[in-house]
């Protein structure tokens, strides 16, 4: 099994949910549905959110009438996704599993893996196993979208600059500090180890979560190669979850790979 990372932070799923609630989930989901229609074949009825965290996009997809599954290694994250689905009065199937090795009961039309979560797969074995699992979980003509870091983040080391922000929802306030210390980089394994700190203030008082994670720098051409090794064809790269931002656009800040399942 691949190594769990940032466990303290991810197990405090409510705090994560608040810290990352700044995204425009509806616009991001519209992008995913748009590229599935542009490049995939057949209808779009079912989605799978991999490394889903609290399942923002799975819940939003269910609200649009799609059959949605959220899969994450962290049981508290899947619990949080179910709470959010219940609050939205929709059903989301929750699966606690390692995205490197999993099976679904039924293949889906669209799978996606957002917010650079694929970088938790550290070894080439895990990346191969992941793409093998996703190929079995997506029907032929279906689509897999991966949102990862943009290569410029690594070339310029922008990704290793401290980044700090505070989000508040109701009585929960979360301060997040990405990288408190310089990262430890292993250029042969393409990994970097970082320390992140979160300060949570809620009805239960104040607490600080400090945890360490090792992540892999996965480059665009690797996504293409791993996908092709397991039955996917690269249809497009974008530089954001936005069809108007090309990967080499000066505004590009993400690698977004859109892959179509052969067959």
Ligand X SMILES: C[S@@+](CC[C@H](N)C(=O)[O-])C[C@H]1O[C@@H](n2cnc3c(N)ncnc32)[C@H](O)[C@@H]1O
Q: How many H-runs (helices) and E-runs (strands) does the chain carry?
A: 8, 12
The answer to whether residues 231 and 262 touch, using CB atoms and an 8 Å cutoff, is yes
Strands of the chain, DSSP E: 46-50, 67-72, 92-96, 108-113, 138-149, 163-169, 172-178, 184-186, 191-202, 205-216, 232-238, 254-261
CB nearer to ligand X: give 41 or 136: 136
Nearest distance, CB of residue 74 and ligand X, angstroms:
4
Q: Which is nearer to ligand X, 74 or 255 (CB)?
A: 74
Instruction: Give Cα 159 to chain centroid, integer Å.
Output: 17
Question: Which residue's CB atom is positioned nearest to ligand X?
Answer: 53
The residue (of 73 and 259) whose beta carbon lies closer to ligand X is 73
Please, which residue, 42 or 162, has the CB nearer to ligand X?
Answer: 162
Give the nearest distance from C-beta 9 to ligand X in angstroms.
Answer: 9
Give 2 or 46: the residue with its C-beta nearer to ligand X: 2
Residue 72 CB, shortest distance to ligand X, in Å, is 5
* Rounded Cα–Cα distance for residues 161 and 64 (Å): 37
Q: Do the Cβ atoms of 254 and 219 come closer than 8 Å? A: no
Binding positions for ligand X, rule: CB under 6 A: 2, 5, 10, 20, 51-53, 56, 72-74, 77, 98-100, 114-115, 117, 120
Smallest separation (angstroms) from ligand X to the CB of 141? 24
């Amino acid at each position: 099994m691949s190594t769990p990372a940032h466990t303290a932070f991810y197990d405090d799923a409510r705090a994560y949910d608040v810290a990352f609630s700044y995204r425009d989930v509806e616009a991001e989901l519209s992008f995913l549905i748009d590229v599935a229609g542009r490049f995939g074949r057949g209808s779009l009825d079912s989605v799978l959110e991999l490394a889903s965290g609290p399942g923002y996009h799975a819940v939003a997809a269910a609200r649009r009438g799609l059959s949605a599954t959220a899969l994450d290694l962290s049981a508290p994250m899947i619990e949080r996704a179910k709470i959010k689905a219940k609050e939205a009065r929709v059903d989301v199937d929750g699966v606690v599993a390692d995205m490197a090795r999993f099976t679904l009961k039924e293949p889906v039309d669209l799978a996606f893996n957002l917010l650079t979560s694929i970088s938790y797969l550290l070894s080439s074995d895990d990346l191969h196993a992941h793409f093998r699992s996703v190929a079995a979980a997506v029907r032929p003509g279906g689509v897999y979208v991966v949102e990862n870091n943009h290569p410029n983040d690594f070339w310029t080391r922008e990704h290793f600059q401290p980044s700090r922000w505070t989000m508040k929802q109701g009585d929960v306030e979360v301060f997040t500090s990405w990288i408190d210390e310089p990262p430890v980089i292993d250029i042969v394994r393409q990994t970097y180890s970082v320390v992140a700190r979160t300060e949570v203030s809620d009805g239960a008082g104040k607490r600080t979560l400090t945890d360490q994670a090792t992540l892999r720098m996965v480059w665009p051409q690797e996504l293409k190669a791993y996908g092709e090794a397991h039955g996917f064809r690269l249809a497009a790269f974008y530089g954001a979850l936005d069809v108007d931002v090309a990967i080499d656009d000066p505004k590009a800040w993400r690698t977004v790979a859109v892959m179509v399942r052969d067959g």
